[in-house]
């Protein structure tokens, strides 16, 4: 998992796009704080041995390392806007990179440096909060996916006054139905939801995984 910002933002500072001397610290915070969410995302992705998989916002590379293990005859790619995260993840994934089974690139959700239909699995964990244009980012994700491919979008949810889940820490706190509607409009169908209670510092939050198939 990584935090994928379209640009660094003052609200979260160096955690949005880790860089400089704080990059290593930010990576460790991500790896520890998002382990349970990464596990949910990888489970929902249902990676097969020959799959071509992209992670958007891979951070220190923990989820991508597991994906590479699950797809020994496939290909695991990752994009992240942070050079610090690419450096950190490259050390973790050095064997896969050397074998040309793993590739890491600079990129964002709205500008993915791969051709149309390249992947049959795409995941992103805790990045939706930082997208400037949610609709265009989802269309860009659909562009690089094969028809019938699986997309998994994971974020932290928080209940509103009526108990309905909304996207925590995202401007306007869109509802679960809002995000599902955006996914449908971008070209994803057979939409499903999985949730899991996960730790966050000294509290717990609801991890939400939205699954869709590219059509």
**Domain with 166 in it: what CATH number?**
3.40.50.150
Q: Cα–chain-centroid distance for residue 134?
A: 13
Asked whether residue 7 carries a pLDDT value surpassing 60, the answer given is: no
For 186, the domain range is 13-109+117-214
The total number of structural domains that make up the chain: 1
**pLDDT tens-place string over residues 14-33:** 344 555 555 555 555 555 56
Does 132 fall in a domain? Answer: yes
CB 157 within 8 A of CB 168: yes
Whole-model pTM: value is: 0.86
pLDDT band at 11, cuts 50/70/90?
Answer: very low
Does 201 fall in a domain? Answer: yes
Asked whether residue 184 carries a pLDDT value surpassing 90, the answer given is: yes
pLDDT band at 112, cuts 50/70/90?
Answer: very high
In 3D space, the residue among 36, 5, 33 whose CA is nearest the CA of residue 19 turns out to be 5
**pLDDT tens-place string over residues 115-155:** 999 999 999 999 999 998 999 999 999 999 999 999 999 99
Does 159 fall in a domain? Answer: yes
Asked whether residue 98 carries a pLDDT value surpassing 60, the answer given is: yes
pLDDT band at 169, cuts 50/70/90?
Answer: confident
What confidence score (pLDDT) does residue 190 get? 98
Does 7 fall in a domain? Answer: no
Give burial (CB, 10 Å; 0-12/13-18/19+) of 168.
middle
Asked whether residue 77 carries a pLDDT value surpassing 50, the answer given is: yes
What confidence score (pLDDT) does residue 205 get? 85
């Amino acid at each position: 998992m990584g935090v994928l910002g379209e640009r660094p933002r003052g609200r979260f500072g160096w955690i949005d796009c880790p860089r400089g001397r704080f990059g290593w610290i930010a990576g460790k915070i991500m790896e520890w704080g998002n382990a349970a969410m990464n596990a949910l995302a990888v489970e929902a992705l249902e990676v097969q041995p020959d799959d071509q998989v992209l992670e958007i916002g891979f951070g220190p590379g923990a989820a991508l390392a597991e994906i590479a293990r699950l797809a020994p005859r496939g290909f695991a790619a990752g994009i992240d806007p942070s050079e610090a995260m690419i450096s950190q993840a490259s050390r973790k994934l050095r064997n896969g990179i050397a074998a040309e089974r793993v590739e890491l690139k600079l990129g964002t959700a709205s500008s993915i440096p791969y051709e149309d239909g390249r992947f049959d699995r795409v995941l992103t964990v805790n990045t939706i909060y930082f997208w400037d244009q949610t609709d265009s980012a989802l269309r860009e994700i659909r562009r690089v996916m094969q028809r019938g491919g699986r997309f998994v979008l994971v974020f932290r949810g928080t209940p509103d006054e009526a108990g309905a889940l909304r996207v925590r820490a995202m401007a306007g706190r869109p509802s679960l139905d809002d995000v599902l509607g955006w996914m449908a409009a971008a070209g994803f169908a057979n939409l499903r939801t999985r949730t899991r209670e996960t730790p966050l510092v000294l509290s717990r939050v609801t991890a939400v995984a939205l699954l869709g198939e590219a059509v």
